[in-house]
Structure 1
Amino acid sequence: MDLGLVGLGKMGGNMRERLRRGGHTVVGFDRNPDVSDVGSLAELVEALPSPKVVWVMVPAGEATRATVAELGELLSEGDVVVDGGNSRWTDDQAHAALLAEKGIGYVDCGVSGGVWGLENGYALMYGGEAADVAKVQPAFDTLKPEGEFGAVHAGKVGAGHFSKMVHNGIEYAIMQSYAEGWELLEKVDMVDNVTEVFRSWREGTVIRSWLLDLMVNALDDDPGLESIRGYAEDSGEGRWTVEAAIDNAVAVPAITAALFARFVSRQDDSPAMKAIAAMRNQFGGHALHTPPPTGGDVDGDGQAPQSEAAQQAGAGQGEGGSGAGPTTGES
């Protein structure tokens, strides 16, 4: 089939190559002229036979909205736009309504596969009317992995990106579990080779997965992950998953905790933990990990010495406090 592809970055560029290897004619457009086949969206549309199919692979949000709106002015009745980026499903519904006014079809497609997709294929989750999906089906069949699975017509417009959103939410939770297990294994003295423990899990265990394979690859490259900063962004889809769960009264505690862990990773010094430390000091006289005063001494544990009043308040007290007066719990 003939296909227009807008956005030729890491994903889009590899998708163009896989489609061409599959025998399709792909006209690509990108703002970078070094990788673009044409100079504008108008030239891309002009180069395609009718009915035209244009696949959009640009960043979600305003970039996608602007591209879809421009295509709406360039395409004609019977043509189809595919959004293969990480758009929110609510944007899909708005885009479909906009294009429907001119008789242009719309298909949303969640794409998973990353930099490995060129060789391994891409997992595809798409939504839209059956007639519109049929016009894109040859491209779906080429992009998907070999075998029975890897692609699904998930439902109506928005279903593809909603499914991909939930996929990414699950991904957050799985990665967080592997990460926490790795940290615990590294912490104890009795485990001599954490990388080999992870490698052993790749066969015969119920937690084997491609993410586990990639974790082992990372540990082979950098066994202690010393060169990597403990800072993780979120693409937005984890947040959307939690928001959708709230809207539908569905409990997703593991996904939510994994999302919040990423927020914590971006803090050099947690304001919330400062507040907790302050309250523990107030009710129980527990030590505050503060820097020493200028020119002053520090206690043997590297902390600034507490005031005499704080020392008296904390005398003989444990976590909840057990000195004179009623017992105080940490609540």
Structure 2
Amino acid sequence: MKSLHSVAPTLSRHYGIRMAGITHFSHEKTIGMDSSPSYSPVTAPNSGVPAIVGSTIDPQVIRSIVTPTKSEEIYGAVQKGSLEQRIVYFPFSENLGSVAAYGDFSDAGQVGANVNWEPREAFIWQTWMQYGDMETSMMGAASIGWVNEIRQSAALTMNKQHNLINLFGIEGKNLRGALNDPDLPPSIQPTPKAGSGGKTVTAWTDTGDPVALLADILALFQTLNIQLQGNIDMNSDLVLVIPSELSQTLVYTNSFGITFNDILKKAFPNMNIVTLPEAGLSMNGGNGSLKQRVMQLFAPVIDGVETVFTAFISKLIMHRLETYSTSYRQKASQAGMGTVWKRPMACATMVGV
């Protein structure tokens, strides 16, 4: 009888018969029988089961890390206007008056008020979500809720844009940012500090002395107190905004084992210290980036009136779902007016920390 090696080329060439994995005919080697003490396999050697049999997909989806959106948490958020009313006017009133020596028949002395209306424009932005039947089914087979992932991406993208507008505004529109509003008073520079090697430095990361950092906070408070003409004191409610990349400076310790954070809490018992990623150099390179680190100190409320807030028209609008033969798409939109400083003089800014 002929061997597989001799007839395989003829079978393949003339009849299209390909016996992949077959190494020999049964008569060439012993056939595997229950009574046979040993035998050689007819098929190709096998080292185990397919890899997929020994694999699984973890049910927890690991998402990429993004910077937190903290503008509304720090400066507050208020709904203003509507999609039809895209300009909001904020009235500002100033009380005026003069006095004169009293006289029964004197008309001297007069009081009044001056009112101005400060406008803010709205900006509306959008993005699209789209997905198909096949990709949704395939992702589902891999334990991924694809439609949910797409919608979460839309919400995250919109919120990141909203946060950026709240902090830096939009150039060319009457829509301001919390960090660069042109109505904010001029910023001040950090105080000189002793760095390593006897050098004089200003950046917080170039020194480890909490007392030197306290000098910057006191300079900020002095500036704010002068701007508000004594309407605050060291027991007033205050918010200190520092770059997130300077968070470690709060644990700088003096020779008595007291941290910088403890020093601040003792000097300003009602101060709330918050961190903002966009106030630091690590966020440079994108829209609204800063050339130097920024620190702010502001009084959130004066005479019962809030000092600052971020204004939104709509948090998220999911528009009509468009259905096609094997796919879907949907538009999402948001609208806001940036940050409104009702009293810009209630904020002091330091650049270069």
Fold shared by both chains (TM-score > 0.5): no
User: Relative to total residues, which structure has the larger helix share, 1 or 2?
Assistant: 1
TM-score between the two structures when normalised by the length of structure 2: 0.19
User: Relative to total residues, which structure has the larger strand share, 1 or 2?
Assistant: 2
- Structure of greater Rg: 2
RCO higher in structure (CA 8 A, sep ≥6): 2
